[in-house]
Structure 1
């Protein structure tokens, strides 16, 4: 690590806070539960693989067949109704959200030379339509 001893100690302090956080602990537990469930992993992997294949087809200006779309929708419905998979997807959102928040705050601090306020870090949604971030 090339950071100063002070920065290293603060990084360790942040990591200690992360692993002690209840939401993070719960998210990790849900992710571990998913990884230990071979049936859930297999179902999710099958849906994801078919989804990628259909995306590739569309990317190459090929239309997926009605059967492929139906099969994908069925797999997606089964994944959404599986509590282990749903828990895993929720856990992914929590963990990636925490990582994004940490990265954003650190990046803004390095960029601006000061600690940003929480208000500065709230996304304004000003990236425009069509960027893929609008839900």
Structure 2
């Protein structure tokens, strides 16, 4: 089956995408993300925290020793990041957008698995644990 053979599905996907675009929570999250991306100082701080954290993590995984000074410097950088309103808003926006994507994916996957539209309880049960269930219980680091 190709996309050209599924006009009903294509139409419903377009409807879903339109509903997502017009959702006020999604609009607000996108606005927050755009505001963050326009704030060069916040973006720079965010990148510095991410790059430093990744670098320290790689070194730790490689068995290298991380000095107390390096840890303290990273913690200070992280505290600055945590206090930055733009970064906090961006992180919240990312969470909202990821939750929407996860919910859409969960419904589609469960529909394909069951061959019917799943009840909200089935989606809630499926997302309340395990890998990428959002509860942190999975082995994937979620």
TM-score, normalised by the number of residues in structure 1: 0.92
Q: Which runs of 4+ in 1 moved over 6 A?
A: none
How many residue pairs match? The answer is 133
1:2 aligns with 2:21: no
8 Å contact from structure 2 (residues 33, 94) kept in 1: yes
Offset, 1:124: 3.3
What is the aligned-residue RMSD (CA, Å)?
1.7
1:61 maps to which residue? 63
1:125 equivalent in structure 2 = 129
2:103 aligned partner = 101
CA distance in 1, matches of 2:138, 2:10: 40
CA apart distance, 1:129: 4.7
Q: What does 1:16-27 correspond to in 2, within 5 Å?
A: 16-27=18-29
Aligned to 1:29: 31
TM, length-normalised to structure 2: 0.87
1:125 Cα deviation after fit: 2.3
CA drift of 1:130 comes to 6.4
Which residue matches 1:41? Answer: 43
Report the 3-state secondary structure (helix = DSSP H, G, I; strand = E; otherwise coil) of the residue aligned with 2:129: coil
SS at match of 1:114: coil
Rounded to whole Å, the distance in 2 between the matches of 1:7 and 1:129 is 34
Aligned residue number for residue 85 of structure 1? 87
Unaligned runs of 5+ in 1: none
**Distance (Å, rounded) in 2 between the aligned partners of 1:118 and 1:129:** 21
Q: Separation in 2 of the partners of 1:130 and 1:68?
A: 30
Q: Which residue of 2 aligns with 1:116?
A: 118
Q: Which one scores higher on RCO, CA 8 angstroms, separation ≥ 6?
A: 1
